[in-house]
């Protein structure tokens, strides 16, 4: 059996009277790339935010490498600390500090959370910026970088924490079409290197080529899941077929 990295058991989340997640179950194994598809408002982003505890679930359990991270605060003070160290997240908006250079943005959390010395943090940051194709942009500030470059800095920043799992929330949706490829290429490389990834995306080519499995969500539930090519090319559920028909037309 492959090692379970992230496991969700009957996870529910409401905002007021709106139930956004209605009993989600799924398991992500080590090195697996899961692509989460679905229409706007289906609960995809909330799912990611629950996995990294930005939004604590109302009920259900989430396990990270076999350890429950959703137990009550009194029993599980290590939950959030564990998540911050082991789960990296990249958002639709880049969320870079505008007054810091690329290398400073990638160094900061290493120093604050991992207690790395400044020299070690900068060396790590420089290596990661080189890895995402930005070796010549270390000292540039965000307003001097394209959207694609800023998103690659954000990916480097998440990787600087040596995460065991990476979450990506529609990371190309704010980018111009010609910049999307450079970000997806970095994500492809991470997948090739065996990084466990959960990716919310509308990029069907990426999902089909890179995803091991696709999870299709609608109305806060998992409607269909299975091998990526099978679900995208030959969906079983009508709701999945309808959504893919609309997306693949564009």
Burial of 31 (0-12, 13-18, 19+ CB in 10 A): middle
pTM: 0.93
Per-residue pLDDT of the chain (250 residues; tens, 9 = 90+): 678 999 999 999 999 999 999 999 999 999 999 999 999 989 999 999 999 999 989 999 999 999 888 876 445 556 777 888 899 999 988 899 999 999 999 999 888 878 889 999 999 999 999 999 999 999 999 999 999 999 999 999 999 999 999 999 999 988 888 899 999 999 999 999 999 999 999 999 999 999 999 999 999 999 999 999 999 999 999 999 999 988 876 5
Q: Tell me the angle at which helices 147-159 and 177-192 cross, rounded to the nearest 10 degrees.
A: 20
E strands, 53-210, in order: 59-64, 67-68, 87-90, 165-169, 196-200
């Amino acid at each position: 059996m492959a090692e379970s990295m992230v496991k969700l058991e009957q996870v529910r989340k409401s905002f007021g009277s709106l139930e956004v997640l209605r009993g989600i179950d799924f398991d992500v194994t080590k090195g697996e790339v899961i692509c989460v598809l679905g229409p706007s408002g289906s609960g995809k982003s909330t799912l990611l935010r629950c996995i990294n505890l930005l939004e604590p679930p109302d009920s259900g359990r989430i396990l990270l490498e076999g350890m429950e991270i959703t137990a009550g605060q009194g029993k599980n003070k290590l939950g959030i600390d564990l998540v911050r160290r082991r789960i990296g997240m990249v958002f639709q908006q880049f969320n870079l500090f505008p007054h810091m250079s690329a290398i400073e943005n990638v160094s900061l959390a290493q120093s604050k959370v991992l207690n790395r010395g400044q020299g070690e943090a900068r060396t790590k940051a420089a290596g990661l910026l080189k890895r995402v194709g930005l070796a010549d942009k270390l000292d540039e500030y965000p307003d001097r970088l394209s959207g694609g470059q800023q998103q690659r800095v954000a990916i480097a920043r998440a990787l600087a924490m040596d995460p065991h799992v990476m979450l990506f929330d529609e990371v190309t949706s704010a980018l111009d079409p010609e910049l999307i490829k450079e970000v997806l290429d970095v994500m492809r490389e991470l997948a090739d290197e065996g990084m466990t990834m959960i990716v919310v995306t509308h990029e069907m080519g990426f999902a089909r080529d890179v995803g091991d499995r696709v999870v299709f969500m609608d109305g806060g539930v998992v409607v269909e899941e299975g091998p990526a090519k099978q679900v995208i090319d030959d969906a079983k559920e009508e709701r999945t077929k309808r959504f893919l028909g609309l997306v693949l037309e564009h």
